[in-house]
Structure 1
Amino acid sequence: MKEDKAVASRAAIEGEIGILARRKIEAGIIAPIYEVMCEKLGEEFAQSILDTAIRRAAIATGKAFAAKTPGGTTLRTFEELQELWTQDDALTIEVIKATDEEFHYNVKRCRYAETYREMGLGHIGHLLSCNRDGVFCTGYDPRIELERTQTLMQGAKHCDFKYRFDDKTPSDSK
């Protein structure tokens, strides 16, 4: 990463712990709650509740990151946030395309998936992590959309992230 990008990124995310560490802490808290929800409500309903709650939290988190982004949000400022997700070797990624309008990359290794499996939570890892991605970017900037057709979490050989920036979509005022 270029020095000026690194400085801007650090300013935008100052004081934040890596996402992998955060997700492991959250999963440790969520797991016993999820188990009780399954016992009382059934697995399908428990997963639905978990999915809804985590998606809402991801949107709120995206908005919080946007509020801390100096000068407003773009696909480039979103791209700079990726160092939080890759911190601590959490992801091994291969960037395919990085422009002002598109940011495409493949995830070759995902320690989020590995961590959830180690914790016995692989069956809900997609709810705890993957399902956040598309709604986080919407919370961060509604002009950013994610297309992804496969994930390591659900057995694919890699995750394919394709973010697009649509400047015709109204952005939230920042």
Structure 2
Amino acid sequence: MSIPVIQQAKIQAQVLVPLVKALQAELGEERARKIVRKTLGDLYRQFGVEFWRAKNEPNLGKAIGSAFTTYARDDALHYDVIEQSQDAFAFDVTRCRYAEFYKELGEPELGFLLVCSADFDTAEGFGPDVELTRTQTIMQGASHCDFRYRRTAGGESSDS
């Protein structure tokens, strides 16, 4: 049985949080964050590419919905689906144990860097016709996270 993503994030934080803090002390906060974002961004984009290729699901709502249940496993996320269709998957996260964990560590900014930033990089890996918008996160103090995945013009649609 695979380790739930929430547990993976907690294990990774044991190494990544001290590493990022050391990089920030040595290189400055801005430069360290830029290096971490680029490095992790490349990894998450590749994850998105591999997921999309393996999923081979033309229905955007089904594909992203199934991926999201992986991140929500073990009560890690509570969310409300706003729209799920051939060309969209929109939902609001109303409780996030990832944010709760990083808040308990006293490191919500690093939680945003290490967890939330991955969402856009992963979405890029889904291809140029998939767009993610999100205007707020629980990790940054909002009441909910508003994820909106859409297939953009020129991508596959229900007419394909």
The TM-score normalised by the length of structure 1 is 0.81
2:146 to 157, 160, 172: 160
Deviations 1:13-64 (A, max 9, x none): xx65322112112221111211221121112211111122221111011122
Please list every run of 5 or more consecutive structure 2 residues that lacks an aligned counterpart in the other structure: none
Q: Distance in 1 between matches of 2:67 and 2:58?
A: 11
Q: Distance in 1 between matches of 2:58 and 2:19?
A: 35
Q: 1:131/1:146 Cα in 2 relative to 1: closer, same or farther (>3 Å)?
A: same
Instruction: Quote how far apart the aligned CAs of 1:131 are.
Output: 1.1
Instruction: Quote how far apart the aligned CAs of 1:137 are.
Output: 1.6
Please list every run of 5 or more consecutive structure 1 residues that lacks an aligned counterpart in the other structure: 1-14
Identity of aligned residues (%): 35
> What is aligned with 2:71?
85
SS, match of residue 74 in structure 2: helix
What pairs with 1:10-89 in structure 2 (closer than 5 Å)? 16-69=2-55, 71-72=56-57, 74-75=59-60, 76-89=62-75
Residues 64 and 89 of structure 2 are in contact (CA less than 8 Å); yes or no, is this contact kept in structure 1? no
Which amino acid in 2 is paired with 1:83? T
Aligned structure 1 segments of 4 or more residues deviating by more than 6 angstroms: none
> What is aligned with 2:132?
146
Residues 17 and 110 of structure 2 are in contact (CA less than 8 Å); yes or no, is this contact kept in structure 1? no
What pairs with 1:110-149 in structure 2 (closer than 5 Å)? 110-149=96-135
Over aligned residues, Cα RMSD in angstroms?
1.8
Deviations 1:61-83 (A, max 9, x none): 112212322x4554122221111
Aligned residue pairs: how many?
155
Q: 1:86/1:166 Cα in 2 relative to 1: closer, same or farther (>3 Å)?
A: same
The TM-score normalised by the length of structure 2 is 0.87
Which amino acid in 2 is paired with 1:103? F
Q: Distance in 1 between matches of 2:40 and 2:50?
A: 15
